[in-house]
Amino acid sequence: MRLLVGEAEAGQRLDQVAAAEFGVPRAQVQRWARSGHLQLNGATAKPSAQVREGDCIQADPPEPVAADVLPERIPLTVLFEDDALIVLDKPTGMVVHPAPGHKGGTLVNALLHHCGDLAGIGGVLRPGIVHRLDRGTSGVMVVAKHDAAHLALAEQFKTHEIDRLYRAWVRSIPKADRGHIDQPIGRHPRDRKRMSIVTRRGRDARTNWEVERRYPASGIARLAVQPETGRTHQIRVHLSSCGMPLLGDDVYGRGHRAKGPVRLGRPALHAAALGFIHPTTKERLHFEAGLPSDLFELEERLEARET
């Protein structure tokens, strides 16, 4: 895999640029660098090296290492499956891949039991994972079953060819019917566990939103949200920055914790639809996931208050 550094990436870390452009986790890129499988202008370089416009980054990934993750018999809601990929309706509360504090019970554990082997290009701790949803976000996800499918899907995410629709319930009633947010997102300057539009080195992030329903009696609105990019916590950060924090979001909704019609133990965000080109058949596919029980109950109570 090879890429030329553009003006927008100049001055950033080597591992940061390579991870974003190759569609793999930053930790994986760092492992490549340590093992000599990542080069900058034909020579090995540290992951922290700053790149310049016109630099050539080349990666020659080693063969995937078997995942040290145990398969677990965890029920999955499968929307579609074939030899190349599997599309799921992820429940709220499920972590996508193992991490400190979440060694088991993850989507990857469930997938390894359901599918057997999966692609290792995404790193040994999250085989097959092309994109992810936050633990508290429910809805549609696609997972690759082999490396070719993984690369093809990752490229569609990188070039923004993926169609994504989220539904979000926010603690605000916007006057406008729709809007576009174009604010770079990066690590919060003081809290490294949070993302923010106030950051030293933010990455391009764009989000479109449209009001689907206003609930004046509750001070809440339901939005249809279409992110053009896929930054960490993008929807939550962007909407909060505009004074529209998600209902139930205690991380980015601080100061907006008034009691709602339903107590949610997670941000009110649902990945309602996902569309992409099948990596093998080249057919355009589209999948939808209905509301989970907590958001369905939220809708019922909001409607009841209005009447």
Which residue is catalytic, options 55, 134, 249, 294? 134
Please indicate whether residue 204 is annotated as part of the active site.
no
Cβ-defined contacts of 7-10 (< 8 Å, 24+): 7/53, 8/204, 9/51, 9/53, 10/51, 10/52, 10/53
Q: What is the DSSP letter of 237?
A: H
What are the φ/ψ torsions at residue 140 (nearest 5 degrees)? -75, 130
Q: Which residue, 87, 25, 92, is CA-closest to 246?
A: 92
Angle at alpha carbon of residue 142, lines to 141 and 143, rounded to 5°? 120
- Angle CA(250)–CA(253)–CA(255) in degrees, nearest 5? 100
Cβ atoms of residues 127 and 70 within 8 Å = no
Catalytic residues: 134
